[in-house]
Chains A and B, each alone.
Chain A
Amino acid sequence: MSRRLPSRRRLTRPQWAISVGLGLAVIGFVGAAQWNSSLARTEFITSAQRVLISEAEQAQRQQETLRAEIEAADERVQAFQEQDAGSQAALLQLNEELAAARLASGLDAVRGPGLVMEIADSLRPVPEGESGTPYLVLADDLRDIVTALWASGAEAITIAGGASGGVDAERVVATTSIDGAGSAILVNSARLTPPYRIEAIGPEGLLDRFLAHPTYLARVARRIEVYGLQFAHEARDEVTLPAFIGNTRMRWGAPVAEAE
């Protein structure tokens, strides 16, 4: 004589069996997708491209290592500067001047109120016979955004790329160039790809002043409207921007010696 299972057990066993079944189905699906995508990728990459990709990845890793080493070396130099056996008063004054110069030149990480904005290529289909270039974010767009931000009172700006392979945000300093390089944009010679994230620190109302600035209205806003570039912005109570990492030594000039 068979014994009836309690009603609770009768219900739970099929439930977990279904859950496990569904889970296994998802694993199968994701596994197949992974397998297929890796097949598709290798199928269309030539051996020459594979070598180039490997070289590019190596160069990117080298760049990350160099940036980390520069940060560490810079910290050591600053540690030396803060401890001197000589006059403490002279040392204090010199370090204050040095700190002020570093801050004004973009060589210190900074924090403060500001804004975050992102701009990316248009998702609109390019009409037949028309060039696709205006539907992309161009170096000119980033230059105009940076120009409008400075003119609106920004005190510090960084630009980061969306898929830049782990490369940090680039701080905009006195020597910063912004140039186009195919579908990417070079900022401080670092290759950034969309979406581009621009962060800035400035006195209250920075975003409102930026959005009302003629450089933004006449060029960037117009391109956003006409070509459908994706654009989002937000004022923030606090943003933190990294210091500039790169060469600060002049190659073709030198500071003018101050008259005694």
Chain B
Amino acid sequence: MAGRIAQLSLFAVALVIGILLVGQLRSQAPAIELSSLSAQELSQLIETLSNRNVELGDALSDLREQIRSYELAEIQGQSTLDLTEAELERIAAFGGLRAVEGQGIILTMAGSFDAKAVNDLIYELRGAGADAIAVDDVRITARSVAELGAGVIEIDGTALGPTVEIRAIGSPEGLESTLRRPGGLLTLLEQSIDAQFQIEQRTDLELPATRRDLVPQAARSVE
């Protein structure tokens, strides 16, 4: 009898310890992280999260619109192949597999620059909201990076000359103002490398599709 009581007591004590420890650990992690931020940092975080939520909200609205179109076609007994073809074009354009056209900017860089400058400019344009980018005649995909090849800078196996033209589709004003902002990348590059930059806003840009084979060899889709 006493042994049974001992076992039950130990069980109860261990249970309470476990619950308390889990409670302590769970209350620590994210709460302390947020509470350690200043009011200004919290405001920035909220702005970042809100912007991201707007983007995700837009993506969700697009998907719901697509669902409505498919449902309507189904009700009317129509084929949905046209809708799926449009979706294929859209996804292929997003991934760099289709040529795209639109408005944006042409950034010309001439002089002495390294591969990192080219990669940083690509990241800067993505951060400024560019929909699509091409460096000279090379469409930039997720996997495209500038690197030093046999004495020259290459992207996707194509050598770049001493003058490169980076074309980006996006808000012309937004892209240019991001690049030119005080303390921004262009200012830093102008101070650190011997290159000249020129930006031109355009309404008639056309970017080619990638010539690179993006079919993965090692990665396979998770069904």
Contacts and interface: CB of A to CB of B under 8 A. Distances in A.
Given A48-B39, A105-B94, A175-B94, A252 B56 contact: no
B156 to A, nearest CB: 10
Contacts of B53: 59, 62-63, 66
Size range of the interface on B? 35 or more
Interface stretch (A96-104, A118-126, A129-137, A223-231): A96-104
A106 B22 CA distance: 37
Contact of A193 (B33, B91, B143, B148): B33
Interface stretch (B123-131, B158-166, B192-200): B123-131
B49 A60 contact: yes
A109 B217 CA distance: 15
A254 B221 CA distance: 27
A248 B91 contact: yes
Nearest to B43: A52
Given A56-B45, A183-B41, 14 more contacts: A30-B21, A37-B28, A59-B49, A70-B60, A94-B81, A98-B84, A108-B222, A175-B126, A189-B52, A249-B90, A253-B169, A254-B102, A255-B98, A255-B100
30 contacts: A12-B2, A30-B21, A56-B42, A57-B30, A59-B53, A63-B49, A86-B81, A87-B81, A99-B221, A105-B91, A111-B219, A111-B222, A150-B144, A163-B29, A175-B126, A176-B126, A182-B41, A184-B45, A188-B52, A191-B49, A191-B52, A240-B222, A245-B59, A246-B56, A247-B59, A248-B94, A251-B171, A252-B103, A253-B102, A255-B90
Interface of A: 9, 12-13, 16, 19-20, 23-24, 26-27, 30-31, 33-34, 37-38, 41, 44-46, 48-49, 52-53, 55-57, 59-60, 62-63, 66-67, 69-70, 73-74, 76-77, 80-81, 84-87, 90-91, 94-95, 97-114, 143, 147, 150-151, 154-157, 163, 165-166, 172-179, 181-184, 186, 188-191, 193, 201-204, 214-215, 240-241, 245-256
Interface of B: 2-3, 6, 9-10, 13-14, 16-17, 20-21, 23-24, 27-35, 38-39, 41-46, 48-53, 55-60, 62-64, 66-67, 70-71, 74, 77, 79-81, 84-85, 87-104, 116, 119-120, 123, 126-127, 129-132, 140-145, 147-148, 169-171, 205-207, 214-222
